[in-house]
Amino acid sequence: MIAALIFVIAIAGFLQFFVSYCRSLIAAYERVDLSDQAREVTGISNRHVAGQDFERLLQLVRMCPEPGDDGREIGAVRTYFGLLTIARAAFRKIAPALERRMERERQSCAYFAAVALDRRIAHSRGLMASQLSEH
Amino acid sequence: MLGSVDFVLWMLGAFLPAGVVVCACKGRVFFRYFPLNLYMLAAALLTAGRFVIFWKYGFLSLEYRYFYFYSDAILTICLYFALMGLYSHVFQEMGVNRYLRVGAMLLLALTSWFTWQVLVNSSASFISKTRFVVELSQNLYFVGLVLTYLLWGAVMKLRETRTQVIQLVSALGVYFSAFAANYSLHLLSPGHSTVWTYLPQVLAMWLPLAWAYTFAKVPEEARIATARVAATQGHDQ
């Protein structure tokens, strides 16, 4: 009984801290504006990105060469997105307000992926420019 | 016999904490977060020490057992001071650092006294130093868990905006909560299995990875709205 209680409290604490940690990662990306090139590639016209675009954006991110410094952030946010998707499905029938909150959070994750893509495009362009200058 | 997975996990257990110290030095925050770095340095050295003892004397030897439990206690005390270091960052502006230091020492002494009293009043006829160290380590770990939850409450209440501090505290919260969940699951489903062997080692990698990221990537002057990271609040707040 006590072990089950500790487990429930620990899981609640874990989720609380993990959500906060992921939000702190995403928040840094929210202040960044997307470049015109990234908008063109992703088809995003304003700052609003649908939550369902996250996976598509992540696939585009994977196609770009890795700068080697964003893998962990992407991994953490991907796990967070997965948790949000499960929570959103669970709350759909019982608490629509919570479901909307989850969707807003998923949109933040998608924007994060768009900014990560933008950074990788910029990195690829830098690589190409340096290769061209060498030849 | 040490398998390749065990070997890799052991090496990671030594190198990842060392990586945190390197990242802190590179980010020029080594002395700013000295207790955290001291804990990571101790973790790297003691994990390497455990490997040396294991290699020399074997897993079932008395030497390894002693070294494991005593080093675990040292690490828990270091982690406790790292947590207190984070407390002093959060309460920095209130100018209560002296009281925090005294409070931390008192709480440590109280936990030791409580551990001793529990052992004295237990049915065991002989109380060894090792048993005291093991019990103290466990109790201090629990105190650390509760203090981390309280610290997070203070971060929210005082509207802490430093991204580094928020990430360091939340990463520590994830670490403590994951270990508490693992501990309770082990109690619910006792016995030996691969999961119970490797899960704690994998979980232990979270803290050095998260802290290394913070030191390496988050600038000291980065700020974030507290309401934005609170898990119980909406995005638009």
Q: What pLDDT is recorded for position B1?
A: 67
Least reliable range by pLDDT among B100-104, B109-113, B230-234: B230-234
Residue B5: pLDDT band by 50, 70, 90 thresholds?
confident
Q: Selecting from 1.10.3470, 1.20.1070, 1.20.1300, 3.40.50, what CATH number does the domain B4-219 have?
A: 1.20.1070
What pTM did the predictor assign?
A: 0.87
**Structural domains of chain A, count:** 1
Residue B26, pLDDT score:
93
pLDDT score of B237: 39
CB B235 to CB A104 under 8 A? yes
- Judged by a CB distance cut-off of 8 A, whether residue A17 touches chain B is yes
What ipTM was assigned to the predicted interfaces of this complex?
A: 0.87
Q: Which of B152, B183, B229 sits opposite A23 (nearest CB)?
A: B229
Q: What is the mean pLDDT of residues B185-205?
A: 81
Q: For residue B236, is pLDDT > 60?
A: no
Question: Can you give the residue range of the structural domain that contains A115?
Answer: 2-134
Whether pLDDT at B125 is above 90: no
Helices (H) and strands (E) in chain A, counts: 5, 0
Listed range (A23-32, A41-50, A51-60, B40-49) with the worst mean pLDDT: A41-50
The encoded tokens of residue B206 equal 């979270």
For residue B81, the distance in angstroms to the closest alpha carbon of chain A comes to: 20
* pLDDT band for position A109 (cuts 50, 70, 90): very high
> Is B174 close to A18, i.e. CB distance below 8 A?
yes
Write the residue in A10, A18, A72 that is nearest to B180 by C-beta.
A10
Region A97-110 average pLDDT: 89
Q: What is the mean pLDDT of residues A20-40?
A: 86
CB contact A21 to B (< 8 Å)? yes
Interchain contact, B177 vs A14, CB within 8 Å: yes
Nearest Cα residue in chain B from A15:
B174
